[in-house]
Structure 1
Amino acid sequence: MVATAGHVDHGKSTLVRALTGMEPDRFAEERRRGMTIDLGFAWTDIGARTVAFVDVPGHERFVTTMLAGIGPVPAVLLVVAADEGWMPQSAEHLDALAALGVRDGLLVITRSDLLEPDLALDDARSHLRGTTLEGIPAVAVSARTGAGMDDLRTALGTLVDRLPAPDDAADVRLWVDRAFTVRGAGTVVTGTLQAGRLRVDDDLELAGTDGTRRVSVRGLQSRGEPVGEVGGVSRVAVNLRGVPRETLTRGDVLLTPGAWLTTDTVDVRLDSGDDDLPRELTLHVGSAAVTVHVRPLGADTARLRLRHPLPLRIGDRAVLRDPGRRRVRAGISVLDVRPPDLRRRGSAAARAVVLDTMDGRADPGTELRRRGIVRRAELAAMGVPVDGLGSGPWLVDPDRAVTAARDLAAAVDAHDRADPLDPGLPTEAARRSADLPDTRLLDAVLPYAPGLVHRDGRVVRTAAAGLTPAVVAGLEALREDLAREPFAAPDAARLAELGLGPRELASLVRAGELLRLADGVVLLAGADDRAVATLAGLPTEFTASAARQALGTSRRVAVPLLELLGRTGRTVRTPNGAHRLRASGGSAPP
């Protein structure tokens, strides 16, 4: 997919007609005035490749339409006429493309039969300097004489070849740019499918200003032909069952069911340091244009409150435009689609500090640490890969689990001291004491609370009750040592200081409180499971040195810990001596 952008008189539509043999201007008024008013679409085959074009308006009155057309496409055909050169409206097109992070395309100098193209080319290059499109290839053509058209087709083929391949397995998010009725078929919407696949009879979610509802795909067309399925990047027309045309508008979006979060509050990074940013702007993303309230937080970060929710993910790019002054104010990168409230004094300043550490990349470990506890489906819907983060409907960061386990243990002990004849806490009371949103999370936290078990509807102490007070005191001190650095096994001097000699350590291992790795090398019970969770964040194959660094420990601990994981079948050795985690089914991953 390629968007064609340029000034109203630069001959964009003429160029597209010459390339494709198709008329991108759909309305008689456009052809009469020689001016693109709405989005136009065309396509052509170049060798074995199919190149589709979205022809966007150039006039300043139709910038919103222009942004709806370029939002979902990966590359641009930036058109400048040799006899007119760079025009003021070209600058706003370039600002929008830069704001959206479009980095590839072609600079096309048209009407080269009317004037030498060199001046226009040099002028355009000067405007592109310092932008995301600096250095894109340039071609001079004349649609009237055909000069340069073969070079343009060759350049287009090269452009398509270097664009990244779309992810066929991605969740579908199709921004609607047109909606109309076809007699005998019903309602049809069109858009640019960036990734994923659509199939006839698919069930989808339709999200718009009136909320979200389920719809079904009756039929599909791509490049004017019926198809059973289509993948990105493609222009696609979707015939929807039972959806009245009048309920649809540009900016609605078709989604993979259950895979997206709609949000009306996002924290973003701005790509311009505009200190005088208006408090109300228009957010352009995909084909949508939504009024937003802007609350600056840091030097280049802000919170946006949207007039109505949109399906957004971490890392999404969008444009903030001032419709009153008719100019792009900033490009944004979405940092958080579920940000915390800023109700307390100082919370905005604290949030700005956190946002300064965020880069708009959905890193699984970082996002889980930041949120502490989160539903797996919700984290995935934010755009975060969740494979390797554990199983079950909830995910718990290890540090958050340690804190919850400490609070839970303290609550159990306090209850038992107050009422020794009724030991342990009921499940719901235990959940509240650990500040957990769901009782099912107790089972995720208890591995970090040795000596506690969840059974018969209560969380109770078990093995530690049979230990001497001195050993229990040493164990509690050791738990505190290992709370922040769970793999920093104490040395002999520290164990002696805690009163934990070989016999005491052996009793704690038998009681299930400690995990013995080697003589004098012990960690808290469950450290092996926690190590597997940490090592899942490494590349598929990793060395003992990489494991040591990831675990934050020494070779004295890392080597016997890896040997234990190998003996218990959770890792395997590779032919080159490295290590690899086994898949959950028991076989080594490929």
Structure 2
Amino acid sequence: MIATAGHVDHGKSTLVKALTGAEPDRLAEERRRGLSIELGYVWTSLPGVGEVAFVDVPGHEKFLRTMLSGIGPVPAVLFVVAADDPWMPQAAEHLAALDALGVAHGVVAVTRADLADPAPMMARARAEVDRTSLRGAPVLAVSGATGLGIDELRQALEDLVTGLPAPPPDADVRLWADRMFHIRGSGTVLTGTLSAGTITVGDRLATTGGTVRVRGVQALDQDRQSVSGVARVALNLAADDRVELARDSVLFTPDRWHVTDTVDVRLVGDEEPPEKPALHIGALAVPVRVRSFDATHARLTLERPLPLRIGDRALLRDPGSRQVWGLTVLDPSPPRLRRRGAGTRRGLELAKASGEATLAEELDRRGIASTDLLRRLGVPVPPDAGPWLIGERAAALVQERMASVVRTYDEQHPLAPGMPVPAVARALGLPSPDLVPALVSSPLRLEGGKVLSAPARVGLPDDIERALAAVEVDLAEAPFVAPTADRMRELGLHRKAIAVASRADRLLDLGEGIVLLPGADALAVGWLGELSQPFTTSQARVRLGTSRRVVLPLLAHLDRRGLTVRHEDDRRSVR
């Protein structure tokens, strides 16, 4: 797709007709007045490229809004100025709009080269264009009336189209409609420029008010089963009852775009924009309210919600002065600003944004974000990512606070330490308990749905501390001779006390009232590794100097931890 641009009556439509053989001014009023009022669409076939469509936009100042709707979704431009006229205001205005949108692919045609020497205007056009995003674009002298330079122009356009980046056919669809009409027997038809993605008959597309079903697809006046961008398409649609379609509707892939009426942007312009300009994006013009943060960053509140992503390019235009500002969308899902000075702080934060949707940058700025929101904003997210993601800085802060919160909880609940995961999430203000397990790190540990602090930081009751000291003495010389049931009762180590000490990593609880000191399992593996492998239960009992009452649950514990392997003949080997 290539859009035209330039001052009124400088020969854009004539040039397009010379290239394609078709008349872009299809309205009777356009042909009568000799100027374009609506967008015109024609196409031709270029050697080595195939079919190329042209969007012929009006050059008259009264129809600048229509012109912007034509160039908005199109990746390349044919910029037209006349050799027999001076550099005109609408040429400058169109070029400023193209520059603000960041259009970098184009060809400049100096028309009416049969009526005046084209050299002065070619030099002026080169100087003007080279101050914009179109710098370096070829400048050619042509005449739509005589055919002068048309072959060279076709070659330049072929080179232009060949050099355009190919949009991914599997991209999420967003179609800015610019025309709507009804066909008896078929229903509603919307037309627009598909910049990326694929639309297929039978697809369901979302609007800001519901969904529609694609009943038919046309491209270049031909019925198609599917069409991929960049392409000019006409869609025959069946809408839900609650959907009201209009010529400025937006159709997009359901559940893949963030629909918003508030967006933070970076502006490019010489002056501060007015409070209530118009936002031109795609083929739409939407009134907005501007809240400036600083000279280059602002928050826009849109009159209607739109599907927007990080990196979208658009224009602000003052309808009174007709001045334009280029903008880049930095955050379509910005935070609320409640405190005094929040706008100034937000401007400083946005100054660090690159304007590109990168995972690292978004997590650094947002701290914590849902995977679904990030994908809707256009941020590449790994396919195996969980429902929530957290940035490195935010994770470090949360982990520091988590250690303090859990330590305080365990000190307040010495007989039942371990803070439940949902309680941890609430205490830290996390949006979901799903985030907690990934943030647990030393000295904390996750066990049985609870987060526990390190043993050294958990103060156990004095009676339990005295009992543990006695157990340590008992097991000092014979680490695998577990205290008997009578000894445990004597020390007051009942079931609840054992559980408390086990959670604090002060006892190794093997079940059935059998306890050893922490690290006894690792010591056992070392001693059993000295035996000939594999070994029997009896050999293990002898080597550890204990009884079957202790060795059986100890070996089962080692099996569960994967420290030993049990064979079919009930013998074991140390891994």
TM tier, shorter chain? 0.7 to 0.9
Q: Is the 8 A contact 1:85 1:124 kept in 2?
A: no
Q: Is the 8 A contact 1:176 1:250 kept in 2?
A: yes
Report the Cα distance in structure 2 between the residues aligned to 1:508 and 1:407, rounded to whole angstroms: 28
Partner of 1:335: 330
Partner of 1:164: 165
**Match of 1:319, as an amino acid?**
L
Report the Cα distance in structure 2 between the residues aligned to 1:332 and 1:463, rounded to whole angstroms: 55
**Match of 1:71, as an amino acid?**
G
Once the two structures are TM-superposed, the CA of residue 10 in structure 1 deviates from its matched residue by 0.9
Report the Cα distance in structure 2 between the residues aligned to 1:343 and 1:465, rounded to whole angstroms: 39
Report the Cα distance in structure 2 between the residues aligned to 1:392 and 1:277, rounded to whole angstroms: 41
Q: Is the 8 A contact 1:42 1:54 kept in 2?
A: yes
Report the Cα distance in structure 1 between the residues aligned to 2:83 and 2:375, rounded to whole angstroms: 49
Partner of 2:102: 101
Once the two structures are TM-superposed, the CA of residue 508 in structure 1 deviates from its matched residue by 10
Report the Cα distance in structure 2 between the residues aligned to 1:24 and 1:62, rounded to whole angstroms: 16
Partner of 1:114: 115
Kindly indicate whether residue 439 of structure 2 is the aligned counterpart of residue 445 of structure 1: yes
Partner of 1:577: none
Once the two structures are TM-superposed, the CA of residue 116 in structure 1 deviates from its matched residue by 1.9
Once the two structures are TM-superposed, the CA of residue 353 in structure 1 deviates from its matched residue by 1.4
Report the Cα distance in structure 1 between the residues aligned to 2:521 and 2:426, rounded to whole angstroms: 27
**Match of 1:393, as an amino acid?**
P
Once the two structures are TM-superposed, the CA of residue 198 in structure 1 deviates from its matched residue by 1.1
Relative to 1, partners in 2 of residues 1:298 and 1:449: Cα closer, same or farther, differing over 3 Å? farther
Once the two structures are TM-superposed, the CA of residue 23 in structure 1 deviates from its matched residue by 1.6
Partner of 1:145: 146
Once the two structures are TM-superposed, the CA of residue 180 in structure 1 deviates from its matched residue by 1.0
Kindly indicate whether residue 262 of structure 2 is the aligned counterpart of residue 271 of structure 1: no
Partner of 2:419: 425
Report the Cα distance in structure 2 between the residues aligned to 1:508 and 1:197, rounded to whole angstroms: 62
Report the Cα distance in structure 2 between the residues aligned to 1:511 and 1:225, rounded to whole angstroms: 76
Partner of 1:308: 304
Partner of 1:259: 256
Once the two structures are TM-superposed, the CA of residue 122 in structure 1 deviates from its matched residue by 2.1
Partner of 1:393: 387
Aligned residue for 2:382, secondary structure, equals: coil
Partner of 2:292: 296
Q: Is the 8 A contact 1:196 1:232 kept in 2?
A: yes
Partner of 1:317: 313
Partner of 1:377: 372
Kindly indicate whether residue 452 of structure 2 is the aligned counterpart of residue 455 of structure 1: no
Once the two structures are TM-superposed, the CA of residue 234 in structure 1 deviates from its matched residue by 0.7
Once the two structures are TM-superposed, the CA of residue 405 in structure 1 deviates from its matched residue by 2.8
Q: Is the 8 A contact 2:84 2:116 kept in 1?
A: yes
Q: Is the 8 A contact 2:311 2:330 kept in 1?
A: yes
Once the two structures are TM-superposed, the CA of residue 187 in structure 1 deviates from its matched residue by 0.8
Report the Cα distance in structure 2 between the residues aligned to 1:357 and 1:511, rounded to whole angstroms: 52
Relative to 1, partners in 2 of residues 1:96 and 1:424: Cα closer, same or farther, differing over 3 Å? same
Partner of 1:30: 30
Picking from 262, 285, 288, the partner of 2:281 is: 285
Once the two structures are TM-superposed, the CA of residue 463 in structure 1 deviates from its matched residue by 6.3
Q: Is the 8 A contact 1:196 1:231 kept in 2?
A: yes
Q: Is the 8 A contact 1:453 1:461 kept in 2?
A: no
Report the Cα distance in structure 1 between the residues aligned to 2:231 and 2:519, rounded to whole angstroms: 61
Report the Cα distance in structure 1 between the residues aligned to 2:520 and 2:248, rounded to whole angstroms: 63
Partner of 1:235: 232
Relative to 1, partners in 2 of residues 1:365 and 1:178: Cα closer, same or farther, differing over 3 Å? same
Greater alpha carbon shift after TM alignment, 378-387 vs 65-74: 378-387
Picking from 210, 214, 222, the partner of 1:213 is: 210
Once the two structures are TM-superposed, the CA of residue 273 in structure 1 deviates from its matched residue by 3.9
Kindly indicate whether residue 400 of structure 2 is the aligned counterpart of residue 406 of structure 1: yes
Once the two structures are TM-superposed, the CA of residue 467 in structure 1 deviates from its matched residue by 11
Partner of 1:545: none
Picking from 341, 354, 374, the partner of 2:349 is: 354
Q: Is the 8 A contact 2:273 2:318 kept in 1?
A: no
Partner of 1:74: 75
Once the two structures are TM-superposed, the CA of residue 421 in structure 1 deviates from its matched residue by 2.6
**Match of 2:133, as an amino acid?**
T
Relative to 1, partners in 2 of residues 1:509 and 1:101: Cα closer, same or farther, differing over 3 Å? farther
Relative to 1, partners in 2 of residues 1:36 and 1:462: Cα closer, same or farther, differing over 3 Å? same
Relative to 1, partners in 2 of residues 1:245 and 1:139: Cα closer, same or farther, differing over 3 Å? farther
Once the two structures are TM-superposed, the CA of residue 225 in structure 1 deviates from its matched residue by 0.4
Report the Cα distance in structure 1 between the residues aligned to 2:87 and 2:118, rounded to whole angstroms: 12
Greater alpha carbon shift after TM alignment, 304-313 vs 240-249: 240-249
Once the two structures are TM-superposed, the CA of residue 314 in structure 1 deviates from its matched residue by 0.9
Q: Is the 8 A contact 1:405 1:449 kept in 2?
A: no
Kindly indicate whether residue 12 of structure 2 is the aligned counterpart of residue 12 of structure 1: yes
Relative to 1, partners in 2 of residues 1:511 and 1:283: Cα closer, same or farther, differing over 3 Å? farther
**Match of 2:165, as an amino acid?**
P
Aligned residue for 2:251, secondary structure, equals: strand
Aligned residue for 2:277, secondary structure, equals: strand
Kindly indicate whether residue 41 of structure 2 is the aligned counterpart of residue 41 of structure 1: yes
Task: Map residues 568-579 of structure 1 onto 2, 5 A cutoff.
Answer: none
Deviations 1:171-221 (A, max 9, x none): 1111111111122211111111111111111111113xxxx3111111111
Task: Map residues 113-132 of structure 1 onto 2, 5 A cutoff.
Answer: 113-132=114-133
Partner of 1:529: none
Q: Aligned Cα RMSD in Å?
A: 2.5
Q: Is the 8 A contact 2:313 2:326 kept in 1?
A: yes
Deviations 1:124-178 (A, max 9, x none): 2232231112321022222221121111111110110111111222111111111
Report the Cα distance in structure 1 between the residues aligned to 2:48 and 2:132, rounded to whole angstroms: 32
Report the Cα distance in structure 2 between the residues aligned to 1:257 and 1:511, rounded to whole angstroms: 55
TM-score (norm 2): 0.77
Report the Cα distance in structure 2 between the residues aligned to 1:54 and 1:216, rounded to whole angstroms: 26
Relative to 1, partners in 2 of residues 1:155 and 1:430: Cα closer, same or farther, differing over 3 Å? same
Which runs of 5 or more structure 1 residues have no equivalent in the other structure?
A: 470-506, 513-590
Report the Cα distance in structure 2 between the residues aligned to 1:250 and 1:444, rounded to whole angstroms: 48
Report the Cα distance in structure 1 between the residues aligned to 2:455 and 2:158, rounded to whole angstroms: 70
Q: Is the 8 A contact 1:396 1:444 kept in 2?
A: no
Q: Is the 8 A contact 1:297 1:348 kept in 2?
A: yes
**Match of 2:29, as an amino acid?**
E
Report the Cα distance in structure 1 between the residues aligned to 2:163 and 2:356, rounded to whole angstroms: 23
Once the two structures are TM-superposed, the CA of residue 64 in structure 1 deviates from its matched residue by 0.7
Once the two structures are TM-superposed, the CA of residue 277 in structure 1 deviates from its matched residue by 2.5
TM-score (norm 1): 0.75
Q: Is the 8 A contact 1:463 1:511 kept in 2?
A: no
**Match of 2:104, as an amino acid?**
R
Once the two structures are TM-superposed, the CA of residue 347 in structure 1 deviates from its matched residue by 1.4
Task: Map residues 479-490 of structure 1 onto 2, 5 A cutoff.
Answer: none
**Match of 2:136, as an amino acid?**
G
- Return the index of the structure with the highest Cα Rg: 2
Partner of 1:83: 84
**Match of 1:391, as an amino acid?**
A
Relative to 1, partners in 2 of residues 1:245 and 1:411: Cα closer, same or farther, differing over 3 Å? closer
Relative to 1, partners in 2 of residues 1:509 and 1:63: Cα closer, same or farther, differing over 3 Å? farther
Which runs of 5 or more structure 2 residues have no equivalent in the other structure?
A: 462-516, 523-575
Aligned residue for 1:247, secondary structure, equals: coil
Q: Is the 8 A contact 2:2 2:74 kept in 1?
A: yes
Partner of 2:501: none
Deviations 1:490-528 (A, max 9, x none): xxxxxxxxxxxxxxxxx999999xxxxxxxxxxxxxxxx
Partner of 2:63: 62
Partner of 1:225: 222
Deviations 1:199-255 (A, max 9, x none): 111111113xxxx31111111111110111111111111111136899222332111
Q: Is the 8 A contact 2:48 2:158 kept in 1?
A: no
Q: Is the 8 A contact 2:275 2:289 kept in 1?
A: yes
Relative to 1, partners in 2 of residues 1:67 and 1:56: Cα closer, same or farther, differing over 3 Å? same
**Match of 1:139, as an amino acid?**
L
